[in-house]
């Protein structure tokens, strides 16, 4: 966000491709300086059928901009340094198919020591993260990096770090309402080799396809997340600061008549457009609110009634809710083509970016060294601590009961071969012995058909969960 709390938009205009130049495509998007070249002092002018329209954003990068220029424009170093202090950040790459989004986000993957000139934003961010971690260590602290990557394909979430993965359920966290892909893998990043391998796997497993506009079109949205856990004083957890850096490579919006897709590819395009429309509606609702997500209006503007933000309308918007509707610093990296044949897509992207720049969010703040800073979070922590104490008391009670049962067995001469708490089949024999002894005390006999079962089906005598796992602290049925 900028100083006013608005979502910051960085625009990148790619150069004409070799195919477009060979076809004598006209360049209809031009970048013009509106001042000294600083933030907000450049604009893009698009001419469509003789009518020129201009848009001004925080940063505007022309066709000659390098990958390193993009890294500086979005202030990737600032985001990495902010994560050390507990600030989260998100950078979303948006644009039509073939506008250069994936090249901007990933680029050509190679060594991170240092990144090549064609490496994208995410590889450069990893290089900065590893550099920052060395600075933390030099200051006597510790920093852990975990990397996760989710592919949103045809309204389903998949793990990009696994070669074959089932569809992951998207669940809502009981605290805070954030959504997450349950079962997704997190990889520990210890050095450049780990980061290079993780990025290569995530890129290789992503769904891509070819059509008339792009030979390697992404058929899915990729959400890359780096979890940063910083311990300023080494292993002292009391002062730990947590943050996440989220990098989103959105699939490009498509028009069937231009891409020439049919069958399954057309279904993929429909799913892409559906999720992008859902994201557009969320962005529009947030922009129309005219106030931050904490309900505070802009200066001099009366607080309007905040419209409903339809995060639940797609898997993509559910996964992005925590960064769009929270304190994270969010930047939109809009990518457009200057080609005349793409002028409608370019105009649509610019209009979308202009709407997004109206979003205001809570100012990001570091996590307090002594814990969460908000009263709401403090009450949540207190509640969790209370629940933990109750759970500990329950464990102590169950242990006492187990000890009492073991003493009874010793008195009865039926000492088990293993302790009652051990999750082995030894408990089955013990349970059978206890039941038999109980029946003998009652003058009963072996169970007959129709008698109620003493234990649930499974035959182990242990407390089994629905997935077949055994409750390690479970007693006898």
Task: Tell whether residue 444 is among the known ligand binding residues.
Answer: no
Task: Tell whether residue 98 is among the known ligand binding residues.
Answer: yes
**Of residues 267, 275, 246, 269, the one with CA closest to residue 155:** 275
For 46-52, the CB contacts below 8 A with 24+ separation are: 46/343, 46/346, 46/347, 46/350, 48/343, 48/344, 48/347
Task: Tell whether residue 148 is among the known ligand binding residues.
Answer: no
Assess contact for 367 and 241: CB atoms under 8 A: yes
**Of residues 128, 109, 80, the one with CA closest to residue 196:** 109
Task: Tell whether residue 331 is among the known ligand binding residues.
Answer: no
Task: Tell whether residue 191 is among the known ligand binding residues.
Answer: no
Task: Give the torsion sign (CA, 93, 99, 105, 106).
Answer: positive
User: How many Å apart are CA 23 and CA 368, to the nearest integer?
Assistant: 58
Task: Tell whether residue 21 is among the known ligand binding residues.
Answer: no
List residues bridging with 145 in a β-sheet: 228
Task: Tell whether residue 35 is among the known ligand binding residues.
Answer: no
Task: Tell whether residue 102 is among the known ligand binding residues.
Answer: yes
- Could you tell me which residues are annotated as the binding site for ATP? 95-102
- Could you tell me which residues are annotated as the binding site? 95-102
């Amino acid at each position: 966000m900028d100083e006013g709390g608005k979502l910051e938009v960085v625009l990148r205009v790619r150069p004409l491709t070799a195919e477009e130049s060979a076809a004598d495509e006209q360049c209809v998007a031009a970048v013009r300086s509106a001042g000294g070249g600083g933030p907000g002092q450049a604009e893009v002018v698009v001419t469509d059928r003789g009518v020129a329209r201009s848009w001004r954003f925080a940063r505007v990068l022309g066709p000659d901009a390098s990958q390193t220029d993009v890294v500086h424009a979005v202030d990737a170093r600032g985001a990495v340094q902010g994560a050390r202090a507990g600030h989260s950040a998100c950078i979303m790459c948006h644009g039509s198919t073939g506008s250069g989004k994936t090249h901007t986000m990933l680029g050509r993957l190679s060594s991170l020591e240092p990144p090549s000139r064609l490496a994208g934003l995410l590889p450069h961010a990893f290089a900065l993260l590893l550099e920052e971690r060395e600075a933390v260590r030099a200051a006597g602290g510790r920093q852990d990096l975990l990397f996760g990557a989710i592919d949103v394909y045809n309204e389903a979430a998949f793990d990009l770090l696994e070669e074959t993965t089932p569809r992951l359920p998207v669940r809502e966290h009981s605290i805070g309402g954030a959504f997450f892909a349950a079962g997704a893998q997190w990889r520990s990043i210890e050095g450049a080799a780990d980061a290079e391998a993780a990025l290569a796997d995530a890129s290789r497993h992503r769904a891509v396809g070819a059509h008339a506009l792009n030979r390697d079109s992404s058929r899915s949205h990729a959400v890359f997340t780096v979890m940063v856990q910083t311990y300023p004083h080494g292993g002292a957890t009391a002062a730990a600061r947590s943050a996440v850096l989220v990098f989103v490579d959105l699939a490009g919006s498509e028009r069937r008549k231009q891409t020439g897709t049919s069958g399954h590819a057309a279904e993929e395009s429909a799913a892409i457009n559906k999720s992008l429309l859902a994201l557009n509606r969320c962005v529009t609702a947030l922009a129309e609110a005219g106030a931050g997500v904490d309900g505070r209006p802009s200066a001099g503007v009366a607080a309007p009634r905040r419209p409903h933000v339809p995060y639940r309308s797609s898997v993509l918007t559910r996964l992005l809710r925590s960064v769009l509707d929270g304190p994270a610093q969010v930047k939109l990296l809009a990518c457009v083509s200057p080609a005349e044949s793409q002028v409608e897509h370019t105009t649509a992207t610019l209009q979308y970016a202009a709407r997004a720049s109206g979003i205001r969010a809570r100012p990001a703040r570091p996590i307090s060294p002594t814990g969460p800073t908000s009263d709401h979070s403090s009450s949540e922590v207190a509640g969790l601590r209370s629940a933990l104490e109750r759970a500990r008391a329950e464990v102590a009670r169950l242990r006492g009961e187990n000890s009492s049962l073991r003493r009874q067995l010793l008195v009865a001469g039926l000492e088990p071969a293993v302790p009652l708490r051990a999750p082995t089949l030894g408990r089955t024999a013990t349970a059978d012995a206890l039941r038999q002894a109980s029946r003998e005390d009652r003058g009963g006999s072996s169970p007959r058909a129709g008698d109620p079962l003493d234990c649930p089906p499974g035959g182990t005598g242990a407390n089994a969960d629905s997935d077949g796992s055994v409750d390690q602290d479970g007693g006898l049925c």
